[in-house]
Structure 1
Amino acid sequence: MVRLRAPRHPVDPRARAWWTARALLTVSGPAALAAATLLTLCFLFFPGAASWLVPLVTAVLVAPAVAYAVVMPARRCRTHGWELGESALYAVSGWYGRRRRIVPLDRVESVALRRGPLLRRYGLAVVVVGMGPDAEAVRITGVSEPEARRLRAGIEGAVAASAAETAASRTEGGRGAGILAVGRAGWLRYAPLTFWVWGGVLVAGGTTWRVLNAFGVKPWRIGIVRRLWAGYGAGAPWLAALLGLAAVTLLGVAGALAVHAATWWRYRLERTPSGGLDVRRGLFATSVVSIDADRLCGVALREPLLLRAGGGASVRAVAGGLGDRERNRKRSVALPPAPRAEALRVCAEVLGTDGVLEAGALRPAPRVALRRRLVWALGWGVLPVALVLVALGWLLELPVLLWCAAGWVAVASPMVCALARDAYRALGYAVRGRHLVVRSGTFGRETVALERSSVQGWTFTDTPFASRADVVTVTAIVAAGEGGYRIRDMSATEAVQFAEYAAPGIVREFLIQTSA
C-alpha cells in the first residue's frame, strides 16, 4: 500500500508554549473569565442557584477551556511539520483534524514571513506561501525565525530555478471562435425553481416592514390588512396561513421571472478567437463578462434540488481573474438555468471534449460514507429537536410535547435518511482524458470537470472519526473558482494513488510503500 510519509521537519519545541499562550489569550482565558464572573455573581446575589449553576458552568466553560489549553498545543506539536522537496512543498497542520498539503514549487508566486508580538516573544515566525489571489495560501507555523528565513530562501531559490527551466504553457488547439449558446424564452420556466422564491419575498417583506416603521406607519393598522385579518385570519387561521403561503409563492414566482428576464434576456455565450469565453446578457443594459483562455480551468454543472427535480441545470466556468470569491460566483455563470441536455452540451463545448460530464461510471465512495451521512443526518437533523421537545415536556409536565417529539422522529427520520442516501449516491470521482471529474451534494449538487494540468496541489484532510472509518477528504487545489474542489470520503488506501494518477509528480517524492 502506498501512503504519504510524515514530513522531515517538526515544529520548534517553543511552538508548544506559543500555542498555549495563544489559547489562553483567545479561548481558554476568556472562557475562564466568563466562568469566574458568573460564579461570583451567583455567590453574591443568587446563592441558592449554586447547587446547579456550579456544575453547569464547570461542564460548559471550565472543563472545555482547560482541555483546549492542554490538548490543542500537544496535538499541534505532534501533527505539524513541513518539508521542502526538490519539486514541491509539503506541509501538515491541524490538531482535531489533520491537513496534509502538497503544492508544486513552480506554482508558488510569493513567500512571506509573519511575526506578531507573541511570535517574537518566543522567537518564532510563520511562513506564508502564496499561489495567487484565487488559491488559498499555505501557512507553515511553529518555525523558529532562523529556520523560517532559510525556508523562505530555499523556496525562493527553488522557484527561481524552476521558472528558469520550464515555462508553463497551455494550448487550446481545435477551439475555433463562434457562438456556443443563445438564450431562449422557454428557459424562463426554470427561474422559479429555487428556494429564493420564498426567501426573496420574506426579505423584501421584512425590508418594507422596516421602512414603514421608520416612517411611523404600523403595517397591521393599514385598512386592507385589517379587513383581510377580520375576514379570514380571526375565524379561519389555517385558511389564512394557506392563503398567505399561496400569496408568497405567487409573488416569489413573479419576482423570480422578472429578475431572470432582466438579468438573462438576450443571453449569448461566445468563444473568442483566443480560446476564451464572452458571456453577454441583460435586458435593459448589456453586461459582458470576458474569461481569458489562460484562466479557464474547467466547468461546473450545478443542479440544485428543485432545479434538478425540474430537469434543469446551470453551468459555471471554473476560472480565475474574476474578482474575490463572491464576485467570482456571480460573474462565472456561463449558462443560466436551462434544460439539462443543453447544460451538458455547453459543458462539452467549453471543455472541447464530448462526454466528460455525461452520466457514466464515476467511482463511488466507499459504503462507510453512507453510514457517516446517516449518522450525521439523524444526529444533527432529528435528535436535537426531539431532545428539546422531550426536555420541555418533562420540565413543563406537558405530555403533548412528548407526543410531538415522537411524531417528529417518525416524520423526520425517513426524510433525512432519504436525503442522506441521495447525498451518498451523488458522491463520485474519475479521470476522463485530460479532465478530473468530481461530483457531490444533494441540496446543491455540483459536478466539476477540471483540467488536470490546472491542479496546483493536493490537500488531504481527516478527523478522528474519518480516520476510524478509513476515509479522507481530498481537495484538488486550483487558482480559479472556489480555490479547491473536494473529493469527499475517498478511501484512505486509494487517495494518494489517485492524486498521483490524476496530477502526476506532485506527491511522488513524499510517498512510501507500506505493507497492507
Structure 2
Amino acid sequence: MTYENDLLHPACAEPRPWGRLSGRLILVNLIVLVAPPAMLLISLLVTGGETNLQILITLGSLAITCLVIGGAGMMRLATTRYRITGERFELHSGLFFRSRRSIPVGRVRGIDLTAGLVYRIFGLTTLRIDTGGQSAAAGRGVRLDGIAKADAAALRARIIELRDAGHVRSAAESDLISELDRSWLRYGPLTVWGVGGVLAAAGSVYRTLHEMKIDPLELGVVKDLVHRFGSVPLWYGVLMSVLVIVALGMAGSTAAFVENWSGYELRRGDGGIFQIRRGLLATRSVTIEERRLRGVELVEPIPLRWAGGAKLNAVAGGLGDQEENRRRRALTPPVPRAEALRIAAEVLPAVTHSESEPLSRVGLAPHPRAALRGRINRALAAAVLIAAVPVGLGLWLGPALVAVGCVTGLVLALILVALAYDAYRTLGNGMRGRYLVAASGAFTHRTVALRQEGIIGWTITRSAFQRRTGLLTLGATTSAGDGVYKVRDVSMDHGLALAEAAVPRLLAPFIEHERQPRTLTRVSGRSRTRSAESVK
C-alpha cells in the first residue's frame, strides 16, 4: 500500500460513495485489438499481396502487444476506485500489485484533463492530479485514465472548491485573458521541427520496412519515381528533394499547430489558477496556480522572430519534473510579439509603473564589449574548424576541395559573426520593480522576468575567457521552471550589485573583501556552502 504521507486514515465527516472509471473503456480496448488486422491489410497492399515469415513474426508481436494493452485496460477498469472524503482524495487500484493513495486536497497543485481522439469519440478523458513533486520518489500525483468527461469536470471543481474553501467560478464567470486568433495560423509553418519530423518519419518507415525484410527501393512507387526522374541532373534532383522536404515540413508544422492549439483559451479563475485549454483531436486542459507563478519567459526562435512572433512560457512551480514542465508550461501558442507582451503583463501583477511591461528590453543594462569579443572569437573558431575538414582532405586528394573549404569557411565566418553580433545585441539585464529581467540567446532569443521572492540562491560561474576579461555568469536559482536562469557575461561588479539588488543580503555574507585577491564564496540556496572560488 502506498500513501502520500503517514496520515493513512483521516477522519471523514461526509464519506462519499466510490466512483469508478467509465464502462466505455471496454469499447476503447476493443478498438486496440483492431490494429493487428489493419497492419496486415496495409502490409499486403504495400507488397502486392506477398508476405514472408518476418512480416508474420512482426504482426504476431504486434497482436500480442495489443492483447496485453487491452488486458491491462480491462484490469484497470475492474480494479480502480476513487472518492473524496472530507479533505482528502483517495484512489484504490491494482489487482496483483495493489495501490492505495490518499492525497490531502491542500497539496493539489494542478488538475489537468487530456483526451485523445479515441477518448473524445467516447466522451472520456484522463484526469491528472498533480501534487507538485519534482521526482518519482516524491510522488507527482495520480491519474484517472478513462473517466467520463462530465465526471472529470465535476471532480476537478470539487477538489478546487475544497482546496480553496470557496466558490469555484464557472468558465463563463472566469476572466478571459486570451483566445485563439485565426491570423496566428501564419506562424504555424515557422518552425524547424517540421522538417525534422519529416526526416524522422522517413527514417521510421525505412526501419520498419527493413525489419519486415522489405526493400523500399523495390517498391513499385519508388521504381516509378526513379524511372521518371532518374535522368535529371544531380543538382536539380537535390534541389527538388530539399524543396519537397521543406514543403512537407511546413505542412506538418501547420497541421501540428492546428492540432495543438485549436480552441485555445487562457483564463484566470477557479480559485486563483490560470487555466489553459487547447487541442483539436487530442484536447488538453492545464492548470497553473497563480500563487506558484514565479515569472514568465518570452521565447523567440528563428524564423518565428523574423516574422514578429514569439511564445510565452510560465515559470511556475508544481508542474512536475523537467519533462512535464516543458509540456505544461506554455501559456500561448506562437503569437505576435505585442500580444505575448500584453499577456505577460496580464498574468504578472504590477505594483509599480516599471512593472507594467516586465519583458520589455527597453532600458535594460547593456553588457561589456568583452562579451561581444568572446562571441566573435567563438564564431571564428567554429568556422575555421569546420573549414579545416575539406581543406585537410584537399591537401591529400586535390586542390578542388581546398577551394571548397576556403569558400565554406568564409561563408560560415560571415554568418556566424552576424549571429554573434545579434546574440550580443540581445544581451540585457536589470531590475524592473520586483522582477529580475535577463535577455540572451542567438538562434533563440529568451527574455525572462523572475520575481524576487522566487529567487532562492545564486550560482556564479567563470570560464577561462571570463576570468581574463573580468566577466562572470550569474545564475538565479529557483524552485520553478528550468531551475536556473542565467545573466550571461556581465562584469564582476555589476553582477554582484545586480544580485544584491534582486535579493538583498542573500549574497553579501558570502563575499569577503580583501586587498588581494577578492574572494567570492559560492551560494547554493539559502544555506552557506563553503565552496569558494577566486574572483580575480
Post-superposition Cα deviations, 1:235-270, rounded to whole Å, max 9, x if no partner, equal: 322222222122212211221122211111101001
* Within-5 A mapping of 1:51-130: none
Q: Structure 2 length normalisation: TM-score?
A: 0.62
Preserved CA contact (<8 Å) 2:364 2:428? yes
Preserved CA contact (<8 Å) 1:316 1:332? yes
Match of 1:66 in 2: none
Task: Give the partner amino acid of 1:433.
Answer: G
Task: Give the partner amino acid of 2:269.
Answer: T
Mark the runs of 5 or more structure 1 residues left unpaired by the alignment: 1-131, 136-175
Tell me, in whole angstroms, the C-alpha distance in 1 between the residues paired with 2:299 and 2:343. 13
Tell me, in whole angstroms, the C-alpha distance in 1 between the residues paired with 2:481 and 2:391. 45
Match of 2:510 in 1: 510
Match of 2:252 in 1: 255
Q: Structure 1 length normalisation: TM-score?
A: 0.64
How many Å apart are 1:273 and its aligned residue? 4.9
Preserved CA contact (<8 Å) 1:472 1:489? yes
Secondary structure of the residue that 1:306 maps to in structure 2?
A: coil
How many Å apart are 1:368 and its aligned residue? 0.2
Secondary structure of the residue that 2:489 maps to in structure 1?
A: strand
Preserved CA contact (<8 Å) 2:311 2:334? yes
Tell me, in whole angstroms, the C-alpha distance in 1 between the residues paired with 2:218 and 2:458. 60
Preserved CA contact (<8 Å) 2:457 2:476? yes
Post-superposition Cα deviations, 1:20-54, rounded to whole Å, max 9, x if no partner, equal: xxxxxxxxxxxxxxxxxxxxxxxxxxxxxxxxxxx
Task: Give the partner amino acid of 1:468.
Answer: R
Secondary structure of the residue that 2:467 maps to in structure 1?
A: helix
Tell me, in whole angstroms, the C-alpha distance in 2 between the residues paired with 1:410 and 1:379. 12
Match of 2:454 in 1: 454
Match of 1:383 in 2: 384
Task: Give the partner amino acid of 2:320.
Answer: G
Task: Give the partner amino acid of 2:384.
Answer: L
Preserved CA contact (<8 Å) 1:298 1:450? yes
Match of 1:370 in 2: 372
How many Å apart are 1:427 and its aligned residue? 0.8
How many Å apart are 1:513 and its aligned residue? 4.0
Tell me, in whole angstroms, the C-alpha distance in 1 between the residues paired with 2:281 and 2:486. 38
1:205 maps to which of 169, 193, 202: 202
Tell me, in whole angstroms, the C-alpha distance in 2 between the residues paired with 1:513 and 1:133. 40
Larger displacement relative to structure 2 (289-298 or 383-392)? 383-392
How many Å apart are 1:298 and its aligned residue? 0.5
Preserved CA contact (<8 Å) 2:456 2:479? yes
Instruction: State yes or no: 1:265 paired with 2:262.
Output: yes
How many Å apart are 1:310 and its aligned residue? 1.0
Secondary structure of the residue that 1:309 maps to in structure 2?
A: coil
Task: Give the partner amino acid of 2:388.
Answer: L
How many Å apart are 1:477 and its aligned residue? 0.4
Structure that is richer in helix per residue: 1
1:349 maps to which of 346, 350, 357: 346
Task: Give the partner amino acid of 1:358.
Answer: S
Preserved CA contact (<8 Å) 2:313 2:332? yes
Preserved CA contact (<8 Å) 1:378 1:413? yes
Match of 1:420 in 2: 420
Task: Give the partner amino acid of 1:379.
Answer: A
Secondary structure of the residue that 2:333 maps to in structure 1?
A: strand
Aligned length: 343
Instruction: State yes or no: 1:358 paired with 2:330.
Output: no
Identity over aligned residues, as a percent? 41
Tell me, in whole angstroms, the C-alpha distance in 2 between the residues paired with 1:242 and 1:509. 62
Secondary structure of the residue that 1:413 maps to in structure 2?
A: helix
Post-superposition Cα deviations, 1:112-152, rounded to whole Å, max 9, x if no partner, equal: xxxxxxxxxxxxxxxxxxxx9669xxxxxxxxxxxxxxxxx
Preserved CA contact (<8 Å) 1:134 1:483? no
Mark the runs of 5 or more structure 2 residues left unpaired by the alignment: 1-131, 136-172, 351-355, 519-536
Tell me, in whole angstroms, the C-alpha distance in 2 between the residues paired with 1:261 and 1:367. 43
Secondary structure of the residue that 1:355 maps to in structure 2?
A: coil
Preserved CA contact (<8 Å) 1:232 1:239? no
Task: Give the partner amino acid of 2:372.
Answer: L
How many Å apart are 1:491 and its aligned residue? 0.5
How many Å apart are 1:192 and its aligned residue? 1.2
How many Å apart are 1:177 and its aligned residue? 5.0
Match of 1:293 in 2: 290
Preserved CA contact (<8 Å) 2:374 2:465? no
Preserved CA contact (<8 Å) 2:315 2:329? yes
Secondary structure of the residue that 1:307 maps to in structure 2?
A: coil
Tell me, in whole angstroms, the C-alpha distance in 2 between the residues paired with 1:494 and 1:229. 63
Evaluate the alpha carbon distance shift between residue 250 and residue 464 of structure 1 in structure 2; reply closer, same or farther with a 3 A threshold. Answer: closer
Match of 2:440 in 1: 440
Preserved CA contact (<8 Å) 1:276 1:296? no
Tell me, in whole angstroms, the C-alpha distance in 2 between the residues paired with 1:467 and 1:488. 13
Match of 1:392 in 2: 393
Match of 1:43 in 2: none
Tell me, in whole angstroms, the C-alpha distance in 1 between the residues paired with 2:443 and 2:347. 25
Instruction: State yes or no: 1:185 paired with 2:182.
Output: yes
Preserved CA contact (<8 Å) 1:274 1:293? no
